[in-house]
């Protein structure tokens, strides 16, 4: 069983790509000073770096629960696959440290030291509650049955 816990990052990446396009495709034709253009280009370059980092190291992360080896892996495609813990050590933690609910998994031996997020943040709005219920029914319940 495998899934990508940060799929909502793709919409944020798309919005930033539009901003980057505006920085580099429209700004050269605007009648503004060279110094202002240089600042806008620096902002666009910073956004490029941010988008690349989010795409490679956050959005594409895949959590793999392997039934054969009974281990949990964190995989960043093309870079590395890291063994996180055994199925026997998996402990589900409801993390509300920033005011919103997020599900994480952590080893029983290191309870609060090294938790790995398996969901997005869920707010207290109607949309957030709906997303949370959908996550619990489609991913969390089958996941808990899978690792037993």
Note if the pTM is more than 0.85.
no
31-35, 62-66, 95-99, 116-120: least confidently modelled range: 95-99
Domain ranges of the chain: 9-59, 87-147
pLDDT, position 2: 78
pLDDT 10s digits, 67-100 = 888 888 888 888 888 888 888 888 887 877 777 8
Write down the pLDDT at residue 15. 94
pLDDT value at residue 47: 94
Rg of the chain (C-alpha set): 20
Q: pLDDT tens digit string along 38-61?
A: 999 999 999 999 999 999 888 888
Which residue matches tokens 């989010």? 54
Mean pLDDT of 7-24: 91
pLDDT for residue 111: 61
The SS3 of residue 124 is coil
The set of residues, in sequence order, having a beta carbon less than 8 Å from that of 147 and lying 6+ positions away, is: 65, 87, 90
Nearest Cα to Cα of residue 102 among 127, 84, 87, 123: 123
């Amino acid at each position: 069983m495998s899934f990508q816990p940060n799929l909502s990052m793709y919409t944020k990446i798309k919005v930033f790509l539009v901003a980057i396009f505006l920085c580099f495709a429209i700004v050269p034709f605007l009648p503004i000073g060279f110094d202002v253009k240089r600042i806008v280009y620096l902002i666009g370059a910073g956004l490029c770096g941010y988008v690349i980092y989010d795409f490679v190291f956050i959005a594409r992360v895949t959590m793999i629960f392997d039934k054969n080896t009974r281990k949990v892996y964190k995989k960043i495609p093309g870079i590395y696959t890291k063994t996180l813990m055994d199925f026997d050590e998996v402990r589900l933690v409801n993390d509300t440290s920033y005011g919103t609910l997020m599900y994480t998994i952590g080893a029983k031996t290191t309870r609060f030291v090294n938790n790995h997020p398996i969901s997005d943040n869920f707010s207290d709005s109607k949309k957030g509650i709906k997303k949370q219920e959908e996550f619990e029914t489609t991913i969390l319940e089958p996941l808990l049955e899978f690792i037993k």
